[in-house]
């Protein structure tokens, strides 16, 4: 099942927001991005208006030709009129081409800036946000939605203005030629306006639904590509295909609803004006027959009416594209409106934490040195208020230079506790200190420069081995630091790759084995010589012999840092000086491995099943 997001199609609040929002007010939020290129966009709109009004001069030339040269049988005048028509047509074409040239470059810039802004913002959003949102929903906002916005700014935005001006000028010209025929043409205006208002409201809801479903479909495709080994390994390609087909069929149904709505408004917009033009033709012909109207005036009137067909008929799909752009804007700003992690110290310390903690991290002398958890409790922000906390009043002190193993049953909160140290999540109450300084009094940049992490599920990026490892070091880190980290993690296999440490590891490092990925993640954690090290079961994917070699090298690193290590096996526990047992969100016992093994039944049960390495340690 895909993660539920705040804006998935099944979320009624998303539909309520769409139904109640103003498309104009929503689209106005694009102004900060459009403002830098407003001069070219306004110029393009002005050029388009001139081009459109140039087209309305053609009926007036026709009137002059019919009532003048044609009626007077003057061939030279007809050829002169034809030249005027040709020049007007060329001018109109050139002006519309100039409009397109004016908007192409600046709108590509707007799209690129919005996409870059979204990417930067996603990097600064807290982990809790990414836990809630499906990746496909975020991808669709950065691709499909921004493409819709660029298309809206390039075409519908301009032509809603251009066509509106053209219709007003055209109607004025027709009324000046013959006001009775003008009233006949204006007859369908009221029902068309009413239908457009109803269409806009209904189409907004369906457009939002379709864009959300595109995000869900993107999520399924992404998961299927990344999980292709699982799908093939378990022969689940048919069930995945059925899931994809179901979502695709649902999206198809929504798109058909959009098509039906668009067809209905087009039917009204095209039928009523055509009937009005037919009625004007009959009335005008009668007036020409009784001599109250010249043939040239009727030709000019009907030519103007026909010139207005495109501006009127385009209203339907321009409104549709505008609604899609409004929903795309809404979806874009749903992400941009999320509060990012504050780069500096927390504005207000969490409940139960000390106020105004010292900014400077001390040397570690005294009882406050090292890593300390003081009465720490944690509950996920979206958890029910009456639910028990995941971590409950945790008190733990890791002395400077000490390594402490954190042991507990699955689901006891070990990984969550380690994620609080680099502030991937914020404590609900209590506080965490590093060498006496409250971590909320440090900027995240300072904090994460001191604390290095290695997670149980190693994540590698589509970059070289060296770039992946050096991500954990400063900008000035070089080959020496890389070699030292690879040596500690027993990741010498990197040199045997086709291009050595310059080899591209591919998406998520899936071209490497699980143990290789885990060793590179460990190398990334130790390459920067961190003062504090947080390791979440970093050796779980290694074989016994490689694990022993890594542990031997890792002991030298742990001797020079303060470390918190999540452990599930005795061999990993033996890396640490002391052990803390986490049970149901609370620290229930702290001591050495042998003390807890002899005196704590729960710990002995957790450690049962792999005594060999323990016995070897006893022998040493």
Task: Compute φ and ψ for 535, nearest 5 degrees.
Answer: -120, 125
How far, in Å, CA of 525 to CA of 528, rounded?
Answer: 7
pLDDT at 20 over 60: no
Report percent pLDDT > 90 for the chain: 3
Least confident of 151-165, 169-183, 391-405, 605-619: 605-619
Q: State how far the alpha carbon of 317 is from the alpha carbons of 139, 259, 324, 465, in Å.
A: 26, 10, 10, 50
Report the SS3 class of residue 171: helix
Average pLDDT of the segment spanning 246-263 = 88
**Does the pLDDT value for residue 21 go beyond 70?**
no
pLDDT value at residue 208: 85
In this prediction, residue 140 carries a pLDDT of 86
Report the alpha-carbon distance of residue 538 to residue 557 in Å, rounded. Answer: 14
User: What is the pLDDT averaged over residues 281-300?
Assistant: 84
- The predicted pLDDT at position 358 comes to 38
Residues 97-118: tens digit of each pLDDT: 888 888 878 888 888 899 999 9
Tell me the three state secondary structure of residue 539: coil
Helix (H, G, I), strand (E, B) or coil at 603: helix
Domain extents in the chain? 37-336, 371-380+387-619
410/558 Cα distance (integer angstroms): 25
List all residues 6 or more positions away from 428 whose beta carbon is below 8 Å from its beta carbon. Answer: 350, 351, 377, 378, 379, 389
Q: What pLDDT sits at residue 397?
A: 92
Find the mean pLDDT for residues 518-529. Answer: 83
> What are the residues whose beta carbons fall under 8 Å from the beta carbon of 408, sequence distance 6 or more?
414, 581, 582, 583, 606
Under the phi-then-psi rule, with left for phi > 0, alpha for psi from -120 to 50, and beta for the rest, what region is 176?
alpha
**Rg of the chain on CA atoms, in Å:** 35
Burial-class residue 184 by CB neighbours within 10 Å (0-12, 13-18, 19+): buried
Segment 452-472 shows an average pLDDT of 81
> Helices (H) and strands (E) in the chain — how many of each?
26, 10
Residues in the chain: 620
Helical H segments across 507-591, by residue range: 514-526, 544-558, 570-573
Element (H, E) at 98: helix 75-124
A 10 A CB-CB count for 49 gives 20
Distances (CA, A) of 348 to 34, 40, 125, 418, 440: 36, 45, 18, 22, 9
**What band does 509 get if pLDDT is binned at 50, 70 and 90?**
low
Question: At 459, which helix (H) or strand (E)?
Answer: none
Find, among 271, 248, 255, the residue nearest to 203 by Cα: 255
Lowest mean pLDDT among 380-394, 403-417, 566-580, 599-613: 599-613
What is the spatial distance between Cα 351 and Cα 353, in angstroms, rounded to a whole number? Answer: 6
Distance in angstroms (rounded) separating the CA atoms of residues 125 and 118: 11
**How distant, in Å, are the alpha carbons of 148, 149, 174, 258, 339 from that of 16?**
22, 22, 43, 18, 22
Eight-state DSSP code of residue 208: H
pLDDT tens-digit series, residues 227-243 = 776 777 767 778 788 88
Does the pLDDT of residue 3 top 60, yes or no? no
Question: For residue 176, what are the contacts with CB-CB under 8 A and spacing of at least 6?
Answer: none
Residue 258 CB neighbours (<10 A): 18
- 10 Å Cβ neighbour count for 266? 17
Mean pLDDT to the nearest integer, 387-395: 87
The token pair at 268 is 């009204």
Cβ of 392: how many Cβ atoms within 10 Å? 19
Question: Is pLDDT larger for residue 577 or for residue 237?
Answer: 577
Average pLDDT over residues 510-515: 74
Structure tokens of 566?
């999540």
Find the Cα–Cα–Cα–Cα dihedral 81, 85, 86, 91, rounded to 10°: 140
* Phi (first) and psi of residue 565, to 5 degrees: -125, 120
Enclosing H/E stretch for 528 = none
Give strand pairing partners of 429. Answer: 351, 377
Q: Does the pLDDT at position 620 exceed 50?
A: no
The most distant pair of C-alpha atoms in the chain lies apart, rounded to whole Å, by 122
How much is the average pLDDT of 10-22?
48
Class of domain 371-380+387-619: alpha beta
| Summary mean pLDDT of the chain | 80
14 pLDDT more than 80: no
496: its two tokens: 């045997």
Is the CB of residue 452 less than 8 Å from the CB of residue 533? yes
What architecture (CATH level 2) is domain 37-336? Up-down Bundle (1.20)
| Closest to 332 measured CA to CA, from 324, 341, 320, 344 | 324
What CA–CA distances, in Å, run from 374 to 77, 321, 391, 393, 413? Answer: 97, 55, 12, 8, 16
pLDDT digits (tens, 9 = 90+) for 318-376: 888 888 888 889 999 999 998 887 765 544 444 444 333 334 444 444 456 789 999 99
What DSSP designation does 294 have? -
376-to-132, 366, 394, 397, 432 alpha-carbon distances in Å: 24, 21, 5, 12, 7
CB of 454 closer than 8 Å to CB of 535: yes
Query: What is the rounded distance in angstroms from the CA atom of residue 224 to the CA atom of residue 229?
Result: 9
Burial zone of 33 (CB within 10 Å; 0-12 exposed, 13-18 middle, 19+ buried) = middle
Strand ordering across the sheet containing 429-434: 391-398, 371-378, 429-434, 437-438
Higher pLDDT, 360 or 407: 407
Over the range 433-448, which residues count as b (16 or more CB within 10 Å of their CB) and which as e? bbbbbbbbbbebebbb
């Amino acid at each position: 099942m895909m993660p539920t997001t705040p804006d998935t199609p099944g979320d009624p609040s998303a539909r309520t927001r769409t139904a109640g929002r103003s498309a104009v007010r929503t689209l106005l939020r694009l102004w900060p991005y459009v403002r830098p290129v407003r001069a070219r966009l306004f110029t393009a709109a002005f050029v388009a208006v001139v081009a459109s009004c140039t087209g309305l001069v053609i009926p007036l030339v026709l009137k002059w030709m019919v009532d003048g040269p044609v009626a007077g049988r003057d061939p030279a005048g007809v050829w002169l009129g034809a030249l005027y028509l040709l020049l007007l047509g060329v001018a109109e074409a050139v002006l519309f081409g100039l409009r397109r040239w004016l908007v192409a470059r600046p709108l590509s810039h707007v799209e690129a800036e919005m996409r870059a802004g979204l990417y930067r913002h996603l990097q600064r959003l807290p982990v809790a946000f990414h836990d809630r949102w499906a990746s496909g929903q975020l991808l669709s906002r950065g691709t499909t939605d921004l493409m819709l916005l660029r298309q809206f700014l390039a075409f519908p935005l301009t032509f809603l203005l251009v066509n509106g001006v053209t219709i007003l000028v055209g109607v004025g010209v027709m009324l000046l030629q013959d006001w009775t025929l003008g009233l006949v043409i204006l007859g369908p205006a009221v029902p068309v306006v009413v239908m457009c208002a109803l269409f806009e409201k209904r189409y907004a809801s369906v457009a939002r639904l379709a864009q959300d479903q595109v995000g869900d479909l993107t999520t399924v495709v992404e998961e299927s590509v990344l999980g292709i080994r699982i799908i093939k390994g378990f022969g689940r390609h048919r069930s995945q295909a059925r899931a994809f087909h179901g979502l695709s069929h649902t999206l198809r149904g929504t798109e058909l609803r959009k098509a039906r709505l668009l067809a209905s408004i087009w039917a009204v917009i095209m039928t009523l004006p055509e009937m009005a033009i037919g009625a004007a033709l009959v009335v005008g012909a009668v007036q020409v027959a009784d001599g109250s109207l010249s043939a040239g005036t009727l030709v000019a009137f009907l030519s103007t009416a026909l010139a207005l067909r495109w501006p009127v008929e385009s209203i339907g799909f321009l409104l549709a594209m505008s609604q899609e752009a409004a929903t795309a804007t809404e979806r874009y700003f749903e992400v941009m409106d999320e509060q990012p992690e504050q780069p500096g110290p927390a504005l207000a310390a969490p409940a139960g934490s000390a106020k105004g903690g010292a900014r400077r991290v001390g040397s570690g002398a005294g009882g406050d040195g090292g890593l300390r958890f003081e009465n720490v409790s944690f509950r996920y922000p979206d958890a029910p208020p009456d639910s028990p906390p995941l971590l409950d009043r945790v008190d733990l002190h890791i002395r400077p230079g000490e390594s402490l193993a954190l042991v507990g049953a699955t689901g006891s909160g070990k990984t969550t506790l380690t994620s609080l140290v680099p502030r991937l999540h914020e404590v609900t109450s209590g506080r965490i200190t590093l060498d006496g300084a409250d971590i909320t009094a440090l900027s995240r940049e300072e904090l994460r420069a001191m604390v290095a992490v290695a997670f149980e599920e190693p994540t590698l990026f589509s970059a070289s081995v060296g770039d992946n490892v050096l991500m954990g070091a400063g900008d000035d880190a070089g080959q020496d630091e890389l070699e030292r980290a690879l040596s500690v993690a027993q990741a010498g296999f990197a040199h045997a790759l086709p291009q050595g440490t310059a080899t591209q590891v591919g998406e998520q490092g899936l071209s490497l084995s699980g143990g290789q990925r885990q060793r590179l993640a460990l190398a990334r954690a130790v390459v920067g010589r961190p003062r504090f090290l947080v390791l979440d079961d970093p050796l779980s994917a290694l074989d016994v012999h490689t694990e022993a070699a890594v542990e031997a090298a890792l002991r030298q690193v742990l001797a020079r840092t303060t470390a918190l290590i999540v452990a599930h096996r005795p061999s990993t526990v033996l890396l640490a000086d002391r052990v803390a047992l986490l049970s149901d969100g609370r620290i229930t016992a702290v001591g050495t491995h042998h003390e807890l093994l002899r005196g704590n039944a729960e710990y002995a049960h957790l450690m049962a099943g792999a005594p060999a390495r323990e016995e070897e340690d006893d022998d040493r």
